[in-house]
Amino acid sequence: MKLTLSALTVALAALPELASAGFAASCSWSWQEPKYVVATCAKKDGTPWRTRQDMNLCVGVDRFTGRLVSRDTGNAFLECWNTRKDGNTDLKSTCWNWDEEEVRGNLNIDAYMQNLDGWLWCHGHRSAPY
């Protein structure tokens, strides 16, 4: 399939429409055990949209430090506990490190979570309606 210059121009012109909003600035959220962020996010037209993201698709655990890290299909919440929301951007949790010690840490999810027209996205994973 050939991509013409006019098709490329149309595709590039659509990019502002596809731009995403910052998660913390455009969503209110809560933590739902065992592994979900439930959020109400503003769509492009300003209407609210309720959605739920499986955070095991977005967060992992650094095996050596026991800290939460942004990671595609990280499955952190199979290994961590006492997870909770802290402020509007952080998740706090307790996990095991390499030496089997409990480590309490947090992760700023605003750094990698995006609101794309009401849907939450992380590492290419889109949230589900809720």
pLDDT at 123 over 70: yes
Residue 53 confidence (pLDDT): 96
Given phi > 0 = left and psi -120 to 50 = alpha, else beta, which region is 105?
A: beta
| ∠ Cα 93 87 59 (to 5°) | 40
pLDDT at 100 over 60: yes
Q: Which residues contact 53 (CB under 8 A, 6 or more apart)?
A: 36, 37, 39, 113, 120, 122, 125, 127, 128
Whether pTM > 0.95 for this model: the answer is no
Cα gap 66→77, rounded to integer Å: 12
**Tally of domains within the chain:** 1
CB 122 within 8 A of CB 112: yes
Whether residue 14 is contained in a domain is answered as: no
Q: Which domain holds residue 86?
A: 23-129
Q: Which residue has the higher pLDDT, 8 or 53?
A: 53
Residue 82 has pLDDT above 90, yes or no: yes
Sheet with 102-108: strands ordered across: 81-86, 90-96, 102-108
pLDDT confidence bin for 79, thresholds 50/70/90: confident
Q: Is residue 17 assigned to a domain?
A: no
Question: Residue 113 pLDDT > 90, yes or no?
Answer: yes
Has residue 86 been placed in a domain? yes
pLDDT of residue 20: 57
Residue 107 lies in a domain: yes
Task: Supply the CATH number for residue 108's domain.
Answer: 2.30.60.10
- Is the pLDDT higher at 32 or at 17? 32
